[in-house]
Structure 1
Amino acid sequence: MNQARKANQTAMVAEKKKMEAQPEPRGVSKEKWIEERKKKTGKLLDANGLDMSKSYMLDTQDMAEKKYKKWEKDPAPFGWDVFNQRTLYNAYKKRTKNVECDLEEYNRLKEADPEFYRDASSLQYGKAPKVSEDKIEKMVKELRDRDEKRGSFSRRRKFHDEKDVDSINDRNEHFNKKIERAFGRYTTEIKNNLERGTALPD
């Protein structure tokens, strides 16, 4: 009787151990940590009235600087990376590198306007301060310089004389290339028959 009770007890303990979740080796698992962080971020965003796309607004200055330093170490952008946040930020830095900041004028404007840093509840919201003509000229000059620089990068694509002409204009040529990519393997025989004149009508 005692042996049966002991065997039952050990089996019960073994089953209980199996049922219990295995302790995680390094404290909290990565998934749980990410989930908890998302919940915390979500609560903070809700408290500030922001949505998930604006989670970067919760970053401190140190965190943002670390992020941007990481980005600076990466290689040059390629393909779709041309449009990501890092490259847009780098382009912004490049454009603002030559901008001169007049701190005296800035402080003077700040003192003159009590609502210099206005928020959405301000009655002055959306009202732009008076901008001097020379600053507008500088901005226009910068935009024109950018356009000139962009224009210098355009190049004509090479035209291959040996290639068969199967289009009536550039747009049609581009369309034909797309069609060829998609359906070329199915239509090669038909195309060859048409060119040889051996295609039979249905």
Structure 2
Amino acid sequence: MSPKDTTREDAAVAAADKEHTNRHSANALESAADGETAAETGENDAVASARQRLERFKALQARAKTAAERNLKETAAESQRLATDPSLMSSLSRKHAFASHNLLKADTEAAGEDFERKRAWDWTVEESEKWDRRMEKKQRHRDDVAFQDYTQDARKVYKRQMREIQPNLEAYEKDKMAAIEKAAANGDLEIVETNDGEMIAVDKSGTFYSTADTIGFTDNKPDRAAVDRLVADLRKAEEVRLKKRKDRRGEEDADVTYINEKNKQFNQKLARFYNKYTTEIRDSFERGTMI
């Protein structure tokens, strides 16, 4: 091989080595760029995840703060409600109204004016008549409290039960329409339209409307709620009867602290006013611990 050929071969090998080196460098640069891109992507994902967790944590903190404030307000309101006696508030309200009434009456009379006339200026005729009817009804009820006879007592019980009754008008209308449709289908009832356009039912056979001899009401089956109300009323009446019997028995078994009926009434009047002050003293006497 001539020296010229050797030189040419060495140049080719050097060129190949240089090309290989350049390709390796390019691959290394490309790998480094890919690594940097992946690192940046991972860093961005971590930052976004941390931001989401921080926002969620702040939302939970705000919710916990709101719940704590609401619980604190409800606790304060409950404590105030328990500390306030409703009967005491009602008593103070009545006393305030009574004192205001007396003060206005005294000022009006001192000025030489008619108090009832001046007070009537604040009310309309309808309100005044409504108030008079209410006072009259209240007076009748007050006079009707004491026992007079068993007929009067039965009337009071009946009126109380009528006030407490709760009719189901929807069920009544439904049963009424069902009865009318059934009677019309059987031919016992005829629906006639008047000249005014009003629909009326005509009883053709005379069996639709109830009479003294009608027993169709025996087929009625009350619902469970009505039966429960009846049972509750009977149970309440029985409890009242037993309580009255127990009270009478307690009076018979109690200590005799009177010499006649008038003295008994006087002792009962004293007990109403002073029992709340002398209960502890009497209990101490009974236990034998009174000094």
TM-score by length of 2: 0.26
| Higher RCO (Cα < 8 Å, 6 or more apart) | 1
Going by fraction, where is helix more abundant, 1 or 2? 2
TM-score by length of 1: 0.35
Structure whose alpha-carbon radius of gyration is higher = 2
